[in-house]
Amino acid sequence: MKTAHLRPELSRPHLARRVAAEFVGTGLLVTVVVGSGIAAQQLSAGDAGLQLLENSIATALGLVVLILMLGPVSGAHFNPVVSIADWLIGRRGNGLPGRDLGPYLLAQIGGGIAGTLLAGVMFDTAPALSTTDRASGGHLVGEVVATAGLVLLIFALARSGRSEVTAAAVGAYIGAAYWFTSSTSFANPAVTIARTFTDTFAGIAPASVAPFILAQLVGAALGLGLLFVFYPTAARTAGNVVIPVEAP
């Protein structure tokens, strides 16, 4: 890690590996969200509460695993707002280099869409644009809160040298946020886009995407603001925020 501070570019896996990890990780995250949503919808028809319980438990567990699985490769962002925040606050240190930001975001968006399609193949559900409108005022406040909390959590743990608990903490956070936000906590622009391509439990209508993403960006900014209130020296230790990236 000493070396990482001096010449971070030497301690990262090749960009192609990292981008592949963001593609596969975001993809499988969406597969977990959409797939478990379809399973819940089929098995607990008519019981919306039980469906969300099943969907939220599966997502929380799956997210922990995916961060553990791919964190050392790419940092396991799986989320454009995390990559953007990492770049923003780590620009003078070992945050995500600006030249890597575009590839990360494209991989997350493309991977997410692939993840929706994979869930559809497994559950014999044809791809279709979602008809579930979600962009009410309360839901948008929910997305602001959910994303602010997520960004604050990830960088607070990085800032205080506790990234070894980030995987479990992020899983627990999303598991709770499914319930305490009215929007069921998308908190992720790539996942939001990907979830438009399925007209099942976890879908979101295309018309709701732009307001959701805007709310998520506002939430990310709020989360970074709170980070500087609570952990004012964060910028010096930014980088590798979800899981420390190690050279292979």
Rule CB under 8 A: which of 75-104 touch its own copies?
Answer: none
User: Does position 173 bind its own copies by CB under 8 A?
Assistant: yes
Do residues 31 and 78 touch, judged by C-beta distance below 8 A? no
User: Does position 26 bind its own copies by CB under 8 A?
Assistant: no
Cα separations in angstroms, 142 against 59, 60, 148, 149: 18, 18, 10, 11
Q: Which two tokens stand for residue 94?
A: 């070992």
User: Does position 215 bind its own copies by CB under 8 A?
Assistant: no
User: Does position 119 bind its own copies by CB under 8 A?
Assistant: yes
User: Does position 207 bind its own copies by CB under 8 A?
Assistant: no
User: For residue 10, what are the contacts with CB-CB under 8 A and spacing of at least 6?
Assistant: 3, 247
User: Does position 236 bind its own copies by CB under 8 A?
Assistant: no
Distance CA 120, CA 197 (A): 10
- In the complex, the smallest distance separating the C-beta of residue 219 from its own copies, rounded to whole angstroms, is 12
User: Does position 218 bind its own copies by CB under 8 A?
Assistant: no
User: Does position 214 bind its own copies by CB under 8 A?
Assistant: no
Q: Which two tokens stand for residue 229?
A: 């209130």
User: Does position 1 bind its own copies by CB under 8 A?
Assistant: no
User: Does position 219 bind its own copies by CB under 8 A?
Assistant: no
Judged by CB under 8 A, which of 4, 64, 193, 235 binds its own copies? 64
Judged by CB under 8 A, which of 11, 55, 130, 198 binds its own copies? 55
Judged by CB under 8 A, which of 2, 6, 124, 126 binds its own copies? 124
Distance CA 4, CA 218 (A): 31
Judged by CB under 8 A, which of 49, 92, 99, 126 binds its own copies? 49
Q: Of 3-11, 30-38, 103-111, 212-220, which part binds its own copies (CB under 8 A)?
A: 30-38
User: Does position 190 bind its own copies by CB under 8 A?
Assistant: no
Do residues 212 and 130 touch, judged by C-beta distance below 8 A? no
Report the sign of the C-alpha dihedral through residues 67, 71, 75, 78, in that order: negative
Residue 9 host element (H or E): helix 8-11
